[in-house]
Structure 1
């Protein structure tokens, strides 16, 4: 009854939905990267919103002969009308914030390790071997004295070392934020009373479950 091609923006979608002449009972869409943005945005606009499980939607739409964006939209509307879907639990903005913080921390740590391994490999070419285990904090202090008398190594490795130091400093800052967030959270403090559970594991568990009532039951 109404078809429009719009940008994936809450304001644009809600404006067109309000222009629809008939009452709208429910708004539905397939789970994806923009799910949280659309779900909470349209919900704040006063619509009853449901996010549908992607595999079920894909299985239903696979029966269509011509798979286009337009036909997919019609198929999703039909699935929503019939109710043949499982709703997806939408994590809170807080949970997504914790996951983003943990993901950023992990990404910076991995990049720091990658640069350290690159430096190790280049040093071996020139017959310089580092100890098997070197802490992240002391890596720079060990490598720079080894190359200070070789102009070739200085020009090749100093930019890598500088980049690694910058990444490591940002990693340390995110690591402090993670530990601070865990220490200020009642659920994480309870989880960390379990042997072997630290702030990283506690925050990951909380961000994954994202259900305060379930936390209270499991941590009691």
Structure 2
């Protein structure tokens, strides 16, 4: 007998609903959000339950890996699509959401989400930690800049992170009025900056040891951060049938609203991984503005910026970068400076 098993997952509990092929409810339960408890509840109902479906969320990786190890096929569904389907229900409860997800599984009207590997998530954790520490470091620098103005001191507009402490600490100690309030902030900021340097060194070392990252870094403007972010975001390049779909996956293609006689293209969709999209944008900006060596990609971006503006040109270059990086990864080739076209 065919069963459709749905989980409505929250942080501490999971609502389970199992229906048959006709849509009749066969089993309902609510357990804690632990793999062992979920697997035990499903096996108590019937050993014939072999697949489990739920919408993508914060516990997706934990539940996917755990339930797969327990012998279940895991179906992870696109959250926005599930949310749109469940919004038609009058009353929103965990039980009703589980029932709705089960009906979605039965109908087959869902998009399956790719669950990335553990290696990809570990890389993302390192990159996220580095980014978070740097952000806190910058926040403390801005706070110190604001407080030190009470003494009439105006710091340079552009000041490197490494030179900040050496410049500001002697000034504060010389005035002496705000030593008790600013020196602890400087100490905290210095500790954060040293932590950032350690994380940054780990990221650089990881990129140097990775063959894929080294290949991606042959593209002008693409450094260790962009290469690692793109590699972690894609994870498995073969899951994209065409390289052009990579740019759309990361939200770098325009939206479209078409209905009847209306057909209005919009701004880029900004769908998918924001960190990958941001890294590609920074790389494209560096390629167009800072790269000394001329390539067909830079020439195209410069020509485009003269007619469409710098921002649109950089987005277009970022979109093409996503395509090129994926194709280089698939074909195992380095960037060709003299190439006039890219096989998509």
TM-score, normalisation: structure 2: 0.62
Match of 1:75?
100
Q: How many Å separate the matches in 1 of 2:100 and 2:159? A: 56
Q: How many Å separate the matches in 1 of 2:46 and 2:66? A: 22
Q: Which of 197, 212, 235 is the equivalent residue of 1:187?
A: 212
Q: How many Å separate the matches in 1 of 2:331 and 2:93? A: 45
How far apart are 1:149 and its partner, in Å? 3.1
Contact kept in structure 2, 1:108 and 1:171, CA below 8 Å: yes
Q: Which of 37, 57, 71 is the equivalent residue of 2:62?
A: 37
- Cα 1:85–1:17 change in 2 (3 A) is same
How far apart are 1:97 and its partner, in Å? 1.1
Secondary structure in 2 matching 1:80: helix
Match of 1:162?
187
Deviations 1:4-34 (A, max 9, x none): 1111111110111111135113100011111
Relative to total residues, which structure has the larger helix share, 1 or 2?
1
Secondary structure in 1 matching 2:89: coil
How far apart are 1:219 and its partner, in Å? 4.4
Secondary structure in 2 matching 1:51: strand
Relative to total residues, which structure has the larger strand share, 1 or 2?
2
Deviations 1:144-176 (A, max 9, x none): 111113333110100100100010011001000
Match of 2:89?
64
2:330 paired with 1:217: yes
Match of 2:312?
none
Secondary structure in 1 matching 2:28: coil
Q: How many Å separate the matches in 1 of 2:46 and 2:126? A: 43
2:172 paired with 1:147: yes
How far apart are 1:218 and its partner, in Å? 5.2
Q: Which of 129, 133, 140 is the equivalent residue of 1:115?
A: 140
Contact kept in structure 1, 2:203 and 2:224, CA below 8 Å: yes
Q: Which of 37, 40, 49 is the equivalent residue of 1:15?
A: 40
- Cα 1:146–1:93 change in 2 (3 A) is same
Q: How many Å separate the matches in 2 of 1:192 and 1:81? A: 45
Contact kept in structure 2, 1:108 and 1:167, CA below 8 Å: yes
Q: How many Å separate the matches in 2 of 1:217 and 1:168? A: 37
How far apart are 1:84 and its partner, in Å? 1.3
Match of 1:52?
77
Q: How many Å separate the matches in 2 of 1:200 and 1:174? A: 12
Match of 1:196?
221
Contact kept in structure 2, 1:51 and 1:88, CA below 8 Å: yes
Match of 1:25?
50
Q: How many Å separate the matches in 2 of 1:218 and 1:11? A: 42
Q: How many Å separate the matches in 2 of 1:25 and 1:194? A: 45
Deviations 1:64-122 (A, max 9, x none): 12221110001111111221111101111111111111111011111111111111111
TM-score, normalisation: structure 1: 0.95
Q: Which structure has the higher relative contact order (CA within 8 Å, separation 6+)?
A: 1
